[in-house]
Every structure is written in C-alpha cells, then in structure tokens.
Amino acid sequence: MSEQDQIGYGVDQGVATITFNRPDKLNALTPSMLQLFLRIVRRAASDPLARVIVVTGEGRGFCAGLDLGVIGSGQSSKANSADETLAPPQWGDEVGPDLSRFFSGGWNELITSRKPTIAAINGPAFGWGFILALHCDIRFAARSAIMNATFARLGVPAEKGSGWLLARLIGSARALDLLYSARRIDGVEAERLGVVNAVMADEALMAHVTAYARQIAAHSAPRALAAMKAQVWSALDDPYDVGFADADHEQDLCTRTEDFREGIASYREKRPPNFRGE
C-alpha cells in the first residue's frame, strides 16, 4: 500500500469521511501519515461539497496512536504544521469566524476547520489516535472501542494538548485519573465519563454517524455552524459578557446572508432548506 493510500477520503451527501487505512497495524500512525491526515483535513475544510467532516478507521481499529516502530528510525515524530500545498483556500475558508487566532494549525486543523468534525471511534483509540478524537467536536463510539492516554507509561506528559482538552471535556479530576493511570476505558465507560457523546452497538456505529452527519449537512446553514463552533471553542475561558457580545455580533452577520433568508423562507414554506454557504 502506498503512503497516499494510508488515509482515505471521500464525500457523499455533504459528508467528508476521512479514514485511517492501515488496518494490519490497527491504523497506527507514522509521522508522515499524520502529516498526510492533517493535509486531508485541510482539503475537507476547503471542499465545496463537504459540510461535515467524519474521521474513522478501517478494519478493527480507529487509530492505535504513534507506530512505536518508527522511534529511532530517523523519522521525525514532530507534526506541528500541515503542508498547505494540497488544497488552496476556497469555499469554506470564509464562511464563519477564524479560529486560528485562538488555535494554531497542525494538530488543531480539526478545530480550526470551521466545519463540524465527528469522530466515529470504531475500535482502539490510543495515544495520538485518542488525541485526534479529542480534537473533534463530537465523538461517537462502538461498544467494543477501547481508549486510553498512554503517555505516563511511556514517560512523557499529556501530549499535543490532550490534558487541556480532557480537562475541559470531563473535568480535572476525571481527566487526571485517565492521565495518571493510563488505564484503558471501553465505549460504555467513555460515555459515562463524558469522553464520547454516545456509545452504541459496533454494527450500528457508522450508520448512526453517517445519518447524523448527513442531517447536519442537509439542514444546518454552514455559516451558522461555523459561528457556533467558534463560539464554543473560543469562549471556553471567556467571561459571560464577552460570549454574549460575540454571539450578538455573529447573529448580526448571519442575518445579512442568503442562507438566513433561505432558512426563514424554508421554515415558512415548510420545506427543507437549500443552504449554499452564502
């Protein structure tokens, strides 16, 4: 399998699906594979056919983290910025607030994409794989999925912002429990802790995620989605009044768009909206 084939990409009914495709290694990442993944996230963020981005894994695993076999092989483990040559800026880059002033590129491509991102955790999500799932806006997991933050057992701290993300998702005590112990949790416990939004039978996962993503792509205005995403990710530490003022500002901008007029018209006419991101 060529390196380019190790990350799959396809768009259907407004949903871009990015697939880790190294199933014989439970989709463990090499540094070059991670760079390719980040470039493809940028591609999805600029793809005019994509409204929602789904990340999943081929075979039995989501992503087993960094392939430890590359340590000492001469390959760099750093992946702090994505190659911007894959997709020039186009539709999607101006539909809402720019989060890059709050989050750098690279690992944060999933956050700064302006489009909803969903992780479909179909199997083991360890280390780097777990972190990439945390960078998504929403996570769904198969019942048999296994997750853990392996870092303490490898002698490293919580990598790539995972401590920051976990604490905000599930609270400091639960985050530190997972980080200190590096213990594995299944989909059921991940749901109980709040790491994932919902857990379901393995065979139902992708059908659920696909239907959920398509519903968002078909019925939610792109600029409104981008504004909501920015409101949540950028306001994590803002005072209430700042969040309120930002919401008013974005509302004023949204009401000037064609999509707003289409949303009102479709509601009055009792028909599905035809949003165009304009």
What string of DSSP letters covers 215-228? HHHHHS-HHHHHHH
Residue 117 dihedral angles phi and psi, to the nearest 5°:
-120, 135
- Sequence-distant (≥ 6) Cβ neighbours of residue 55 within 8 angstroms: 17, 18, 19, 20, 110, 117, 118, 119, 120, 132, 133, 136
- Sequence-distant (≥ 6) Cβ neighbours of residue 141 within 8 angstroms: 121, 147, 187, 190, 191, 196, 198, 199, 200, 205
Residue 270 dihedral angles phi and psi, to the nearest 5°:
55, 50
- Cα(130)–Cα(235) distance, integer angstroms: 24
Give the tens place of pLDDT for each residue, 83-102.
444 444 455 556 666 767 66
- At residue 241, the pLDDT reads 73
- At residue 107, the pLDDT reads 81
- At residue 248, the pLDDT reads 75
- Cα(25)–Cα(6) distance, integer angstroms: 11
Give the tens place of pLDDT for each residue, 221-274.
998 898 889 888 887 777 767 777 777 777 777 777 777 787 778 768 777 887
Residues of the chain with pLDDT under 70: 1-2, 70-97, 99, 101-102, 104-105, 240, 267, 278
CA 163 to chain centroid, in Å, comes to: 17
Q: Which residues pair with 146 in a beta bridge?
A: 186
- Cα(94)–Cα(277) distance, integer angstroms: 9
- Cα(190)–Cα(184) distance, integer angstroms: 10
- Cα(7)–Cα(78) distance, integer angstroms: 18
CA 111 to chain centroid, in Å, comes to: 7
- At residue 158, the pLDDT reads 85
Query: Which pair of structure tokens corresponds to residue 25?
Result: 């290694």
- At residue 136, the pLDDT reads 96
- At residue 75, the pLDDT reads 54
Distances (CA, A) of 185 to 130, 134, 136, 147, 177: 11, 14, 19, 5, 11
- Cα(203)–Cα(120) distance, integer angstroms: 12
Q: In the β-sheet with 117-121, what is the strand arrangement from edge to edge?
A: 7-12, 15-20, 52-57, 117-121, 138-142, 198-200
- At residue 274, the pLDDT reads 76
